[in-house]
Structures are given as structure tokens and as C-alpha cells.
Amino acid sequence: MSGEAKNKPNLFKTLLNGIIFENPVMVLLLGMCPTLATSTSAINGVGMGIATTAVLIGSNLVISLLRKLIPSKIRIASYIVVIATFVTIVQLLLQAYIPSLYNSLGLFIPLIVVNCIVLGRAEAFASKNGPIVSLVDGLGMGLGFTLTLAIMGTIREFLGAGTLFGMQVYPNEFGAMLMTMPCGGFLTLGCVIAAVQFIRSRGKKGAK
Amino acid sequence: MSETKAKVQFDGKYIAKLAITLLAITAVAALLLSVVYAQTKPVIDELAEQTKRESMAMVMAGATEFTPVEYTETEGVTDVNAAYNGTELLGYCVQTAPSGFGGTISMMVGVDTNGAVTGVSILSHSETAGLGTKAMTSEFLAQYTGRTGTITVKTGADTDINHISGATVSSRAITDGVNIALAFIAEGGVN
């Protein structure tokens, strides 16, 4: 209980934590599979990020509210049920109201269920913290994920197809097709993580 | 470890508590999902119907009315609609499902009463963006218009479809889809 009270004034810090200091992809290295698969274009990346954020906020909130009711032996099963429920809701809503995004993300929407960011935050954060701070954690982590996907999607789309958010910047023929393929995803991810680690280590040195 | 094991084996109350908790959670989840499902289903069905209608209008120019028809179950054919302009039968819109590179491609093929292709349109697919999707441009699909019989998959020759390099599997799948529709109509699949 005292831990919760201590966490309360740190909502902003929790939010920033998810976006920057503990960015799920670039620092915690969670959720690699959807990151590589859906960052082929900026629009896809942002769409996937927002869908995951919605699931994260919902599941973190509910799991945090239920954390004292769920016996530890069945917690993983319970978390999966909660997460799967939110994913299915998001999937149905996308299919009904944003069909173009639903079509381009396809199989990766149901796969949010097994995205280790969602289960990871449920287990590591929501099951130990109050509902409000868990909700903020979900929002922060989700935004962090969205930001990473947007950066990667923009880089891959620009280098691979010569477009930015679907607008042609230079002719498609000059694009490096490699970048929109899976290997381009690995290359981009490696470079982005390296850049973030470089910035983080410089920041630490500065603080000393 | 053995202590935990004993507890699970003999404590009926504890087991019941686990079961009831899970039951409660899943029951609430099911209730919630059924509400959302009921809310979104009409919208989703409406959208699917609309997409289908648009693609049928695209592959069968001039048709004003489409009516579902009885047909012989054929592998690869998922739906058949007759296209009419007023009362005149123009042909059939055959929905086929060939296997592409990333899974099944759902496509609409218009075949006129003479057994020639009037148009091809892709409903849904999971081909690689930038590669497989090159075989879905209107220029590529226009190559099928007017074709009859069986289209072969050789490259280069005049009578064949020009396949896209880098999208061999996708181009071939689309040719398969057209062939399925042509064979289906030629064999009198429509009852």
C-alpha cells in the first residue's frame, strides 16, 4: 500500500518512463515480432501502435483493479483472458470503422494477444500497482511503442518505396526494395536501437 | 515445492476458488464480447457487402443488377453472382480464392456469356507490400480482359500474361484465380 502512495505523484515520470527511459522496443527489447512485421510503412506502424496502446491501457487498468482478487496460480490465464478480450474488441471495432487499416494490419491484430509488451506490463507493473498509475504506464508504454513503430515505419517507407505517409517523394523505382522486406526491418531496428543507446549513454556521462 | 503440491491436491476449497475466479473472469469477458460483436456485426457485414458490390460493378461494366445464383460446388470458387443490365444477362461475377505468397487471395472475376474475361478485381490479400502488390495494379489486371480458355503461366510469349518479376508467385496466383473462374463457367458450373 505504501508503494502505491509513493507512486502516485510520479504519474508524469511513469508516462515518460514508457516513452523514453524504458521504451518497450528500443530499451526493453520487447515486442520484436510485431515491430519488424508492421513497420513497413509509417501509417501501418502508427496504426499498430495505437491499437496496441488501446489494448495496453485497457488490460493494465483491469488487471490492476483485479490484482487482489486473482489468485497467483491462475494469474497468467486470467491476464490472457483479459488481454484477449480487449484485443478482440479492438479488432472488431477496427474491422467495422477503419477497414483500410484492418486490411493492412491483417493477422497482426489478433497477434497483439501474445505481444510480450502487453503481458509483460501486466505481470511486471499492473499486478503490483494501483489502477491509475497502471493506466498511465499502459499509455506511456503504448506511446513508446507507437513512437518506435512510427520512426521505423517512416525510415523504411522512405528508403524502400520513396514515400512519406503514402505521399510519393521520389519515384518508387529508386527505392531500395530491401528496406520494406524483413531484412530491412532488422537493419532499421539495429540502427535505431544503436542510436538510442548512444544518446542514452551520452546522457549518463553528462549527468556524472 | 512438495508443500505447494500437497495444497493443490487436497485443498478442495482452494481449487474451487481458482475455478470460480476464472469462471467469473471469462463470463464477464464473454458478455462484453457478445455486446461488442452484436454492435459491430451489421456494420462489418454492410462493409463486406459494399466492397463486393463495388468490385462486381468494376469487373462487369454496364451491369445494373447482381443476383446470387445456384452453382455447383467447385474448388476455389467461393461465390457466384449473375450480372444483369435490366433483364439482359451480361455474364457472371465469379469470386475465387487462389493461394498466393502470403495466403489466400480473394478476387472477383467477371466472365461474359461468351466465356471471356470482362475484368478482374482483388478483394483481399496478404501479399508482400511493394512486391506482390505490383501484380495487383490496374495495368497488370487489365491484361486479363478479353482472355478465354486457359491462360498459361509462361513468360515472354505474346499470348501470355506478362508476369511481374519479383512477384512470380502472386502473378501466378492471380492467373490461377482467373483460370478457375474461366473453367468454372466453361464447364457450366452455374445451375
Map out the domains of chain B as residue ranges: 56-186
> Grid coordinates representing A57?
491501457
Cβ atoms of residues B167 and B132 within 8 Å? yes
ipTM associated with this complex: 0.71
> Could you read off the pLDDT of A97-116 as tens digits, one per residue?
888 888 777 777 888 888 88
A66 contacts chain B (CB < 8 A):
yes
Largest CA distance in chain A: 60
d(CA B127, CA B131): 8
Confidence of residue B26 (pLDDT cuts 50, 70, 90): very high
> Residues B146-187: pLDDT tens digits?
888 787 766 555 556 777 777 888 888 888 899 898 888 888
Bridge partners of B117, per DSSP, are B111
Which of A39, A61, A74, A87 would best serve as a mutation to test chain B binding (most B beta carbons within 10 A)? A74
Q: Which of B29, B40, B128 sits opposite A85 (nearest CB)?
A: B29
Q: Which residue of B has its CA nearest to A157?
A: B130
